[in-house]
Amino acid sequence: MKNDIEKLAEKATEMQRKVYELVASGTKDDLLMSSAILMKTAIELYTVILPDEAIESMLTNEIVNSIPAIREKMEGSLKPTVH
């Protein structure tokens, strides 16, 4: 039987797959716009459950520090159309 963390991981993976399907075939501008919308939505949702300081800390520490690993993971996975 799956524990709660495994269930959440599966749900997150499925959600990411759906998002990638929606944005993968667009242009570079489409990908930038989609990314901005998702980032704005994430921050809006964080404001419902976290204080400003926690959001700022997450953005400046955890997220910024994870960019190189995320870039390596994503390399070649989405190929936006460049016009």
- Is residue 24, in this structure, part of any structural domain at all? yes
- Is residue 45, in this structure, part of any structural domain at all? yes
Look at residue 20 in the predicted model and tell me its pLDDT: 85
- Is residue 58, in this structure, part of any structural domain at all? yes
Look at residue 45 in the predicted model and tell me its pLDDT: 96
Mean pLDDT, residues 3-25 taken together: 89
26-74, pLDDT tens digit by residue? 788 888 999 999 999 999 999 999 999 999 999 999 999 999 999 998 8
- Is residue 79, in this structure, part of any structural domain at all? no
Q: Could you list the residue range(s) of the whole structural domain that residue 38 is in? A: 4-74
- Is residue 33, in this structure, part of any structural domain at all? yes
Q: Number of folded domains in the chain? A: 1
- Is residue 83, in this structure, part of any structural domain at all? no
Residues 43 and 55 sit within 8 Å (Cβ to Cβ): yes
Residue whose pair of structure tokens reads 């998702």 in the numeric block: 38
- Is residue 57, in this structure, part of any structural domain at all? yes
